[in-house]
Amino acid sequence: MIEYINSKGIRSAIISGIGYSVGARKELARALLPNNNFETILSGITKGLTVSDRNLFELILEKPGLELSEPWYCGDNIKTGVEEAARCGVYPV
């Protein structure tokens, strides 16, 4: 999947509510997805936020200058990720 995303020039990032630091999250991303081109990795726990918090989505979108309606969200939990992304105005896939 990551090769397809990269080949199509699709921009990607990670947002996480899991209690890993950003450094630990980067190491995990490198280990699990070695060819990733993530623009940014944000751990909400360092900001006191969860994926159910609209502010977390807004923080991740500040750097690339995107609006909430532009990105797609791919999550691993229907309730705490996918549904919350949709509630915040981010398109869930």
Residue 88 tokens read as: 């915040």
Please say if the pLDDT value at position 63 is more than 80. Answer: no
DSSP 79: I
The Cα 84–Cα 24 span in angstroms is: 24
CA-based nearest residue to 30, from 10, 2, 64, 61: 2
Band of pLDDT at residue 78, cut at 50, 70 and 90: confident
CATH code assigned to 2-92:
3.40.50.1000
Q: What is the mean pLDDT of residues 26-43?
A: 84
Query: For position 19, what pLDDT does the model report?
Result: 66
Query: For position 46, what pLDDT does the model report?
Result: 65
Please say if the pLDDT value at position 49 is more than 90. Answer: no
**What are the structural domain ranges in the chain?**
2-92
Band of pLDDT at residue 22, cut at 50, 70 and 90: confident
Please say if the pLDDT value at position 7 is more than 90. Answer: yes
